[in-house]
């Protein structure tokens, strides 16, 4: 029950941010519970996650965003190297 509540809450947040069914979103989150919450919340609303590995950096992510016509980039901070925040500011 708590899992579904969390997914529904997050899904509602995605819609409030302007995402719509059919949109593509690049999802780059480490293997944590947050990945699953985000993945299922997106798919619950018909938003298509484009999965990126935590090791992917600007070059790969810009390719994903361009070719998928992504409307958003959801991320968690990387352990080292470029921060996702810096990458995000350059993408969409």
Give residue-wise pLDDT tens across range 17-49.
999 999 999 999 999 999 999 999 999 999 999
Q: How far apart are CA 82 and CA 75, in angstroms?
A: 13
- pLDDT tens for residues 46-68? 999 999 998 888 999 999 999 99
Strand partners, 51: 27
CB neighbour class for 16 (10 Å; exposed up to 12, middle 13-18, buried from 19)? exposed
For residue 66, what is the domain's CATH number?
Answer: 3.40.50.980
Label residue 80 by pLDDT band (50, 70, 90): very low
Q: Which domain holds residue 75?
A: 2-91
- Rounding to the nearest 10 degrees, give the CA dihedral for residues 49, 53, 58, 44: 10
Structural domain total, the chain: 1
- pLDDT computed for residue 63 by the predictor: 95
Q: What is the pTM of this model?
A: 0.87
Nearest to 55 by CA among 37, 30, 73: 30
């Amino acid at each position: 029950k708590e899992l579904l509540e969390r997914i529904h809450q997050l899904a509602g947040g995605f819609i409030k941010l302007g995402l719509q069914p059919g949109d593509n979103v690049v999802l780059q989150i480490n293997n944590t519970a947050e990945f699953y919450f985000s993945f299922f919340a997106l798919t619950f609303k018909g938003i298509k996650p484009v999965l990126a590995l935590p090791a992917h950096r600007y070059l790969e992510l810009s390719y994903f965003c361009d070719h998928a016509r992504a409307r958003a980039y959801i991320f968690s901070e990387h352990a080292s190297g470029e921060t996702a925040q810096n990458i995000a500011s350059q993408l969409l």
